[in-house]
């Protein structure tokens, strides 16, 4: 069966999110108290795919944010220091102003941008859905709530909050490489749980889209 580009993207996001969630669950349940495990090719591939996905999410955020969305001066400075770019300059850099001269190159660039915006859109929906994820979908191994829930994790609203959540997930993906799961549970429980929940919510949502397309 030949899949449309958007469907392929949803399938890819679902696969990355599901693999990352299962990989985290496995290590959290089996590697506590052990020395850092030796990394196999599968673990390295899963972690790299998760990082690549978050890179697309961040780039999608950069392409989506607008100054009119930001009312607070402190938040504006925070974003300017990190990612906020002038749209006209960004358009020139991406080649979006060269439609007549370089149509094929333009289409290629737009395809790349489309993928980044889709990644960010899916991530944003996953963050917003996380507090409402039903108990039967919550598999975080060390939940203190019965039934398990992510209801205490607020959905980020302002652009600064969204960027902060993206950066937190990126940081945790790098920390996972240490394999020191017991330390993460003791010292980084909140970020660990939010990161796990993000991938779990992403897997549930993307998986639902895949099933609607009739590809699963």
Number of domains comprising the chain: 1
pLDDT of residue 72: 60
pLDDT of residue 62: 82
From first to last of its 216 residues, the chain has per-residue pLDDT tens of: 344 456 777 788 889 999 999 999 988 887 665 555 566 788 889 999 999 999 999 988 887 776 556 556 555 555 555 544 444 554 554 444 544 545 555 444 444 566 788 888 889 889 999 999 999 999 999 888 889 999 999 999 888 899 999 999 999 999 988 778 888 888 999 999 999 999 999 999 887 766 766 655
pLDDT of residue 149: 95
pLDDT of residue 77: 56
Domain of 172? Answer: 5-212
pLDDT of residue 178: 78
pLDDT of residue 94: 46
Q: Looking at the whole model, is its pTM more than 0.75?
A: yes
pLDDT of residue 59: 87
> What is the secondary structure of the chain as a DSSP string?
-PPPHHHHHHHHHHHHHHHHHHHHHHHHHH-TTSPPPPPPHHHHHHHHHHHHHHHHHHHHHHHH--GGG---HHHHHHHHHHT---HHHHHHHHTTT-TTT-HHHHHHHHHHHHHHHHHHHHHHHHHHHGGG--GGG---TT--SSS---TTSPPP-SHHHHHHHHHHHHHHHHHHTT--HHHHHHHSHHHHHHHHHHHHHHHHHHHHHHHHTT--
């Amino acid at each position: 069966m030949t899949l449309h580009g958007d469907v392929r993207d949803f399938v890819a996001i679902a696969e990355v999110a599901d693999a990352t969630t299962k990989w985290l669950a496995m290590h959290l349940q089996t590697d506590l108290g052990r020395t850092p495990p030796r990394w196999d090719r599968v673990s390295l591939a899963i972690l790299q795919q998760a990082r690549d996905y978050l890179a697309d999410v961040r780039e999608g955020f950069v392409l989506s944010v607008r100054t009119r969305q930001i009312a607070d001066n402190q938040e504006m400075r925070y974003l300017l220091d990190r990612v906020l770019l002038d749209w006209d300059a960004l358009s020139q850099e991406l080649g979006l102003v060269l439609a007549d001269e370089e149509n094929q190159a333009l289409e290629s660039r737009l395809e790349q941008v489309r993928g980044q915006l889709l990644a960010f859109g899916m991530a944003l929906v996953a963050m917003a859905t996380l507090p409402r994820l039903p108990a039967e979908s919550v598999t975080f191994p060390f939940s203190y709530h019965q039934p398990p829930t992510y209801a205490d994790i607020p959905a980020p609203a302002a652009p600064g909050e969204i960027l902060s959540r993206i950066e937190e997930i990126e940081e945790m993906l790098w920390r996972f490489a240490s394999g020191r799961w017991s330390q993460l549970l003791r010292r980084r429980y909140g970020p660990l749980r939010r990161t796990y929940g993000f991938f779990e919510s992403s897997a549930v949502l993307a998986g639902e889209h895949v099933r609607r397309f009739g590809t699963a």
